């Protein structure tokens, strides 16, 4: 970053900088309510509108489909037009789509409206992260991004609490106001608080494509895809494992899983703070990959031997396997630069979403063949493969 850009960044006070972090986090949380909240409507769609569980599942999956189809496009838009307009436009359009969902009379129209809501809300994935990277100095960026990465579990938690309760008490249309209002409020907050970070035009007039310079970004994408596997194996199957194999009640298992998600959110902050302290994103990323492999292997062993320590180990594995998200996200944004990070983050998220979508069906087949213990142990191989792929030697010093 040039001296003029640094000077412009220093003119923004600490309170304003943290305010923009809060606004960016709120934007990402509102987007998570829009994209993840629909799944909590499945019981209501089945009972109140007569859909089968499969039909309701298809309808409520459309927001995530919308997200995957538009992540790179929103990244390109952010690169070209800036973070603030991308956030305001995306969240505003998501609120409009939410209103269309409220008014939808049948399942097809509801699915289309929800899909449009997810496609619009995808703007926050790259743009909110770029606000953090652009306004925070490197020695505070890991911590700040860790806080921003709490937005997804926060949004999912809000949706899990509000959407099914409102749907049960007041109907589906009332429940659809939850993501609609969340996105509308976030639009106003972003418009009032967020300012585009300073960017200086590249000397040649066109920013070079970072993917053509080296394989650093491609390797981070690969690492992130590999680390998604154990993360979603635990997220998807921990609840049913506790109920089926350990004999827990659904309420008790659900409470443990919910509490573990809170710990995992703080784990992202700790990983970001560690990366600031050691002035490296890749070394902590490698440590997380090693720890994730060991945790999953120990969980598989303990589950196979039916040891009591298997339950604490599933908590440990859940916390560790999500700690890499902020590190990789920050590293991608830093290396890609202000004119390419939107697209690079779009590629990063798209690859992760696609990998995550494959885990439940393939994991279910693995459990049918090898059981939960064998599946947990098999998942340990993916982070261990990721260890060798982490580009530690190619990392540049934090500026």
Residue-level pLDDT at 186: 96
Q: Is 235 helix (H, G, I), strand (E, B) or coil?
A: helix
Domains in the chain, ordered, with CATH? 9-193 (1.20.1250.20), 211-389 (1.20.1250.20)
Give the integer Cα–Cα distance in Å for 63 and 70: 11
Residue-level pLDDT at 185: 97
Closest CA to 363 of 379, 348, 352: 379
pLDDT tens column, 112-124: 999 999 999 999 9
Give the integer Cα–Cα distance in Å for 219 and 216: 5
Q: Is the pLDDT of residue 222 over 90?
A: yes
Q: Is the pLDDT of residue 331 over 60?
A: yes
What's the predicted TM-score (pTM) here?
0.78
* Res. 201 pLDDT band, cuts 50 70 90: low
Q: Is the pLDDT of residue 59 over 90?
A: no
| Rg (the chain; Cα; Å) | 21
pLDDT tens column, 258-317: 788 788 888 888 998 899 889 899 999 999 999 999 999 999 999 999 899 999 999 999
Give the integer Cα–Cα distance in Å for 16 and 189: 13
Which conformational region is residue 398 in: left (phi greater than 0), alpha (psi within -120 to 50 degrees), or beta? beta
How many beta carbons lie within 10 A of that of residue 341, not counting itself? 26
- Answer with the residue of higher pLDDT: 39 or 321: 321
Q: How many CA atoms lie within 13 A of 272 on its CB side?
A: 27
Within its chain, how far is the Cα of 30 from the centroid?
12
Closest CA to 359 of 377, 344, 373, 379: 379
- Which of 73-87, 212-226, 385-399 comes out lowest in average pLDDT? 385-399
Q: Is the pLDDT of residue 7 over 70?
A: no
- Answer with the residue of higher pLDDT: 223 or 137: 223
- Answer with the residue of higher pLDDT: 169 or 386: 386
* Res. 2 pLDDT band, cuts 50 70 90: very low
- Answer with the residue of higher pLDDT: 149 or 102: 102
How deeply is 203 buried, as exposed, middle or buried, from its count of CB atoms within 10 A (0-12, 13-18, 19+)?
exposed
Tell me the CA distances in angstroms from 107 to 62, 96, 104, 172, 194, one per residue in order. Answer: 11, 18, 8, 12, 37
Q: Is the pLDDT of residue 399 over 70?
A: no
How many beta carbons lie within 10 A of that of residue 90, not counting itself? 30
**Tokens (6 digits) for 141:** 């960026």
Closest CA to 185 of 286, 57, 88, 58: 88
**Tokens (6 digits) for 351:** 């690859």
Closest CA to 339 of 86, 111, 130: 130
Question: What is the number of helices (H) and of strands (E) in the chain?
Answer: 18, 0
Closest CA to 121 of 50, 203, 187: 187
CA angle, corner 66, sides to 62 and 69, nearest 5? 135
Give the integer Cα–Cα distance in Å for 379 and 348: 21
Residue-level pLDDT at 380: 96
Residue-level pLDDT at 132: 86
- Answer with the residue of higher pLDDT: 120 or 329: 120
* Res. 140 pLDDT band, cuts 50 70 90: confident
Tell me the CA distances in angstroms from 35 to 24, 65, 82, one per residue in order. Answer: 16, 9, 23
| Helix residue ranges per DSSP H, 194-281 | 210-213, 216-244, 250-278
């Amino acid at each position: 970053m040039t001296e003029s850009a640094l000077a412009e960044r220093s003119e923004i006070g600490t309170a304003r900088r943290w305010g923009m972090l809060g606004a960016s986090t709120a934007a990402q949380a509102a987007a998570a309510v829009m994209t993840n909240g629909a799944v909590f409507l499945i019981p209501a769609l089945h009972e109140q509108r007569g859909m089968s569980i499969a039909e309701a599942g298809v309808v409520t999956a459309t927001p995530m489909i919308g997200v995957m189809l538009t992540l790179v496009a929103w990244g390109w838009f952010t690169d070209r037009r800036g973070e603030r307009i991308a956030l305001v436009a995306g969240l505003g359009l998501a609120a409009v789509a939410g209103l269309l969902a409220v008014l939808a009379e049948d399942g097809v129209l509801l699915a289309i409206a929800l899909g449009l809501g997810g496609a619009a809300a995808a703007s926050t994935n790259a743009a909110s992260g770029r606000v953090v990277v652009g306004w925070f100095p490197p020695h505070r960026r890991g911590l700040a991004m860790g806080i921003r990465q709490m937005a997804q579990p926060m949004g999912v938690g809000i949706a899990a609490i509000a959407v099914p309760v409102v749907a049960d008490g007041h109907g589906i249309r009332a429940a659809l106001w939850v993501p609609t209002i969340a996105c509308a409020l976030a639009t106003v907050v972003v418009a009032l608080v967020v300012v585009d970070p300073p960017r200086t035009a590249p000397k040649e007039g066109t920013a070079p494509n970072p993917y053509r310079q080296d394989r650093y970004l491609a390797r981070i994408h690969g690492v992130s895809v590999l680390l998604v596997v154990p993360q979603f194996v635990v997220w998807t199957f921990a609840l049913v494992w506790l109920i089926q194999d350990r004999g827990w009640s659904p309420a008790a298992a659900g409470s443990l899983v919910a509490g573990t998600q809170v710990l995992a959110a703080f784990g992202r902050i700790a990983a970001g703070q560690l990366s600031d302290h050691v002035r490296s994103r890749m070394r902590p990323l490698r440590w997380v990959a090693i720890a994730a492999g060991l945790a999953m292997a120990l969980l598989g062993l303990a589950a196979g031997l039916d040891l009591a320590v298997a339950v604490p180990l599933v908590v440990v594995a859940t916390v560790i396997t999500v700690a890499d998200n902020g590190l990789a996200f920050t590293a991608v944004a830093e290396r890609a630069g202000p004119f390419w990070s939107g697209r690079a983050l779009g590629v990063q998220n798209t690859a992760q979403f696609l990998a995550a979508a494959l885990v439940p069906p393939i994991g279910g087949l693995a459990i049918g063949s090898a059981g939960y213990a064998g599946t947990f142990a098999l998942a340990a191989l993916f982070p261990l493969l990721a260890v060798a792929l982490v580009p530690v030697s190619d990392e540049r010093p934090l500026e």
